[in-house]
Amino acid sequence: MKFLSSVASDVLKRLGDTSEKIWSTTEVRNYLQEGYDQLAMQSLCFWSQAYLDDKLTTGNFTSDFESDWFDGGDVRYRRFAYTCLLDADWVAEGDLDYGPTNHTAGWEGLTYITEAYYVALEDLPDDLYEIERSTWNYARIEPLRSVELELNDSRYQLNNGEVLGYAQDKDGLGKFRKWRIPSAAADTYMITDPCRGILRNPSDISTETVHGSWGIPRRIPTQPAVAETWWGLPRRPFKDGHNTKVEYFSRGKTLNTDQPFDLPDRYVKYVRHYALWKALERNGPGQDIKLGQHWKGRFDDGVARMIRRRQSLTSNRQRVLGDTLLPFGPPPRPKYPWNYGQVVR
């Protein structure tokens, strides 16, 4: 496991500048962070999961600038623009997607709300590069172009129901539009006090016998284990039931002195190559374009290796009995019925 500081020292050593006469540690660290992000984006080596919870819309601010006024400890729900569905005709087009919200705190929604509102438009995680797969209630949902939705369900921004697909091409980068708008909340666990502390008593999550009266739960039946060992504790009990999940390629964690690279040591060398390229390429003393290009080539070769390895499992040929190849391919494109548009007598 390599840390930023040791890799930065290694780069300076290879630049022949351990006394930092030409390149500073800060500059090299910036190159390393840049290379780390480039490596992740080009190779798509990091894979993550996130939940875009189907839950009641709770809103407690009406404009983005207000979020600066939240104090530490305040729960920042979401922006809202109107409080009742019939108001939708009077709000500006851009505000429509912030959805109606009729309560300002989560506990109100759980206890007192009779008219439930949900929204289709969700923010994707900040570290997302590309969605690989998305599911609702454990089943794959299809990526759709908004024009397909317009043709097949012109009220797709208003209709509620099961989530069967999603669109990403109309509402801006970093947005995820569920189709249809959820009509019910995802299966959830009831946490007694949503504001404080950590999960201590799993009795509302499971009927499993709790051993002892001290400490904290470490594993909960039906929940994924935290890691491949017996250690750790459940962080947030997610449920996939009636919930939307995205599986995506992500950026690595932001590096700092205490945060090691998420990569095996060998792959950190590729990041080192990137930093050497950038350091040798920059104008001024120490510039060596020829050697810089060498390190650029090494970085590119490394990324190509990672891509090949990531894809190797699905591209291997396979021997089969008979001459029929495995019926594997992209899903069939959605089509109109065969008699669509014809006059039926």
Partner 1 sequence: MNLGQMRSAVLTRLGEDTVAPIYWSDDDVNEAINDGYEELSDASEWYERSANIPFLSNLRYFDLRTALGDDTFLSPRRAFNPNTNWWLKPSDPRDLDFHTYRRWEINLGTPQRIIQRGLFYIGIFPLQNGDAGLMKFWYSAMPPALITDADEPPFPQEFHQGIIEYALFDLMGQESQTSKALVHWEQYQKIENDFIQYVNKRISTDRLDSLHEISVLGRQ
Mapped onto helix, strand or coil, the DSSP state of residue 97 is helix
Q: Work out whether 162 is an interface residue with partner 1 (CB under 8 A).
A: no
* Shortest Å, Cβ 229 to partner 1: 8
Asked whether 311 and 75 are in contact (CB, 8 A), the reply is no
From the number of C-beta atoms within 10 Å of its C-beta (0-12, 13-18, 19+), residue 296 rates as middle
Q: How many CA atoms lie within 13 A of 301 on its CB side?
A: 8
Residue of the chain from 73, 94, 285, 327 that contacts partner 1 (CB under 8 A): 327
Q: At what angle do helices 265-281 and 289-315 cross, to 10 degrees?
A: 150
194 vs 232, beta carbon nearer partner 1? 232
Q: Residues 108-147 vs partner 1: string with x where CB under 8 A?
A: ------------------------xx-x-xxxx-------
**Piece of 50-58, 116-124, 160-168, 217-225 that binds partner 1 (CB under 8 A):** 217-225
Q: Using CB under 8 A, which of 70, 200, 309, 334 touches partner 1?
A: 309
User: Alpha-carbon distance 324 to 158, whole Å?
Assistant: 45
Per CB under 8 A, the list member of 34, 53, 153, 288 interacting with partner 1 is 288
Residue given tokens 């374009």 in the structure block: 289
Alpha carbon 138 to its chain's center: 17
Rounded-to-integer distance, Cα 25 and Cα 160, Å: 54
| HSE toward the beta carbon, residue 303, CA cutoff 13 A | 19
How far apart are the C-alpha atoms of 61 and 70, rounded to whole Å? 10
Whichever of 76 and 133 has its CB closer to partner 1, that residue is 133
Binding mask 242-281 for partner 1 (x = CB under 8 A): -----x-x------------xxxxx--x------------
Q: Compute the least distance from the CB of residue 160 to partner 1, in Å.
A: 22
Q: Looking at beta carbons only, is 50 or 121 nearer to partner 1?
A: 50
The 8-class DSSP code of residue 21 comes to S
Answer yes or no: are the C-beta atoms of 31 and 271 closer than 8 Å. no
Strand, helix or coil for residue 47: strand
Residue 66 Cβ vs partner 1, minimum distance, rounded to whole Å: 37
The pattern of x and - marking residues 21 through 50 that bind partner 1 according to CB under 8 A reads ----------------------xxxxx---
For helices 265-281 and 4-14, the axis angle rounded to 10 degrees is 50
| One of 64, 71, 126, 228 touching partner 1 (CB under 8 A) | 228
Name which position in 323, 335, 337, 338 contacts partner 1 (CB under 8 A): 323
Residues 259 and 251: beta-carbon distance below 8 Å = no
Stretch that binds partner 1, among 70-78, 153-161, 171-179, 319-327 (CB under 8 A): 319-327
Task: Determine how many CB atoms are found less than 10 A away from the CB of residue 33.
Answer: 17
* Range in contact with partner 1 (rule: CB under 8 A) among 61-69, 161-169, 175-183, 223-231: 223-231
Peptide bond connecting 79 to the previous residue in cis, omega within 30 degrees of 0: no
Least Å distance, CB 24 to partner 1, is: 19
CA distance 288 to 284: 10
**Which residues in this chain contact partner 1 in the complex, by CB under 8 A?**
1, 13-16, 43-47, 132-133, 135, 137-140, 221-225, 227-228, 240, 247, 249, 262-266, 269, 288, 290-291, 294, 305-306, 309-310, 312-314, 316-317, 319-320, 323, 325, 327-328, 330-331
